[in-house]
Amino acid sequence: MKAIISAAELTSELAGATPPVLLDVRWQLGGPNLRPEYDKAHIPGAVFVDLDAELAGPAGARGRHPLPDTGAFGAAMRAAGVSADRDVVVYDGGLGWAAARAWWLLRFTGHPSVRVLDGGLEAWDGPLTSEVPAPVQGTFAPAPGALPLLDADGAAALARTGLLLDARAPERYRGDVEPIDPVAGHIPGAVSAPTTENVAESGRFLPTAELADRFRALGASGTSEVGVYCGSGVSGAHEVLALAVAGIPAALYVGSWSEWSQDGNRPVATGPDPQ
């Protein structure tokens, strides 16, 4: 199953006998909540999912967007109509980060068929509606562990033995600025790989071959393990998605810099180089 779907492909599947469950995950860092935008207009049949409330646990020592409680996440997905035997398509406003977080979390908890609308709502040229659907209760029972996951120690080790990619903006990686978290810099040994460079100006992913070339140039040789982190496990999920499009499996450090930077015992590197 592919990790992404085009607007044209989604149009065709929505008209089929068994259309995918459609989740609208519009979100922006720092708020406000984008439920009002969903209420104004969304793809027909789409159910709104709140990233902060349903795709993450409460902010704290584990980071700004730690893993949600498994039971609460499962209940939210079932209420949205998600079942393991029915395809799911997720989209957001166009950046792709929030949709990728939903994609990763569903895949991590065992859903076999989840795709992200490439380019998000900006790429959609079909009808929109303000009608809020009443989905049939789903049956999805999340079972965490279907995708690789890193904790802080695992991320530190992978930076030494494999390839750990930092998906944040270059200036945050270098430690020039830090607008959100308590300390500026990066995990020692991590390689700067801004997730924004995985997409074209349209917001759609670069062609598969170009993505593969990009990650190969960053050190993804195909023989070593690859991991990703970001600020709080959202844009990093988008990088994991880009790697999946390129055919490269990767682990996500969900706590990311928002967890790492809270621990005064963790080393911090600055500047343009990994070390």
pLDDT tens digits, one per residue of 159-188 = 999 999 999 999 999 999 999 999 999 999
Indicate whether 17 and 93 sit together in one domain. Answer: yes
Tokens of residue 113, six digits: 């068929």
Eight-state DSSP code of residue 227: E
pLDDT at residue 30, as a whole number: 85
- 3-state class (DSSP) for residue 114: strand
User: What single DSSP character describes residue 224?
Assistant: S
Per-residue pLDDT, 216:
97
227 in a structural domain: yes
Residues 6+ apart with CB under 8 A from 216: none
- On whether both 14 and 119 belong to a single domain, the answer is yes
Q: Which residue has the tokens 């690859």?
A: 226
Active-site residue among 23, 47, 102, 230? 230
- CA-nearest of 221, 105, 109, 229 to 157 is 229
pLDDT, position 205: 98
Give the tens place of pLDDT for each residue, 11-61: 999 999 999 999 999 999 888 899 999 999 999 999 999 999 999 999 999
In the three-class reduction of DSSP (H, G, I as helix; E, B as strand; rest coil), residue 99 is classed as helix
Q: Which domain holds residue 85?
A: 4-123
CA distance linking residue 199 with residue 211, whole number of Å: 9
**pTM (2 d.p.):** 0.97
Is 109 within 8 Å of 142 (Cβ atoms)?
A: yes
> CA geometry: angle at 257 spanning 220 and 169, to 5°?
65
User: Whose structure tokens read 């992200």?
Assistant: 116
**Domain shared by 118 and 154, yes or no:** no
Average pLDDT of the segment spanning 104-109? 98
Residue 129 lies in a domain: no
Residues 162 and 255 reside in one and the same domain: yes
Q: Is 255 a catalytic residue?
A: no
Percent share of the chain, pLDDT over 90: 95
Residue 219 forms part of a structural domain = yes
Tokens at residue 228, please?
Answer: 């990703």
Does residue 110 register a pLDDT over 90? yes
Phi-psi category of 30—alpha, beta or left, where left has phi over 0 and alpha has psi -120 to 50?
left
Within a domain: 142: no
What is the Cα–Cα distance from 29 to 90, expressed in whole angstroms? 18
Rg (CA), the chain: 18
Amino acid identity for residue 196 in this structure? T
List phi, psi (to 5°) of 108: -60, -35
The mean pLDDT of 141-154, rounded to a whole number, is 98
Write the pLDDT tens digit of every residue in 225-261: 999 999 999 999 999 999 999 999 999 999 999 999 9
CA distances from 63 to 97, 129, 163, 181, 250 (A): 17, 36, 22, 10, 20
- 157 in the same domain as 80: no
Mean pLDDT across the stretch 199-225?
95
Domain boundary among 123, 157, 185: 123
Average pLDDT over residues 115-140: 97
Q: In this structure, are 169 and 246 located in the same domain?
A: yes
The last residue of one of the domains, among 123, 139, 169, is 123
Q: Give the pLDDT confidence score for residue 159 in this predicted structure.
A: 98
Residues with Cβ within 8 Å of residue 26, at least 6 apart in sequence: 34, 37, 38, 48, 92, 93, 98, 121
pLDDT of residue 238: 98
**HSE of 273 in the Cβ direction (CA atoms, 13 Å)?**
1
Q: Per DSSP, which regions of 19-77 are E strands?
A: 21-24, 47-48
Q: Which two tokens stand for residue 137?
A: 């209760």
Half-sphere exposure of 200 (CA within 13 A, CB side): 10
Instruction: Tell me what the pLDDT averaged over the chain comes to.
Output: 97
Based on the fold, state whether residues 9 and 119 are members of the same structural domain. yes
Token digits of residue 99: 């949709």
Say whether both 108 and 191 belong to one domain: no
- Using alpha carbons, select from 264, 238, 248, 8 the residue that is nearest to residue 104: 238
**Pair of tokens at residue 175:** 């430690």
Number of compact structural domains in the chain: 2
Query: In this model, does residue 71 exceed pLDDT 80?
Result: yes
Average pLDDT over residues 102-113: 98
Q: Is residue 143 part of a domain?
A: no
Same domain membership, residue 8 and residue 118:
yes
The CATH number of the domain holding residue 89 is: 3.40.250.10
**Pair 107, 32 in one domain:** yes
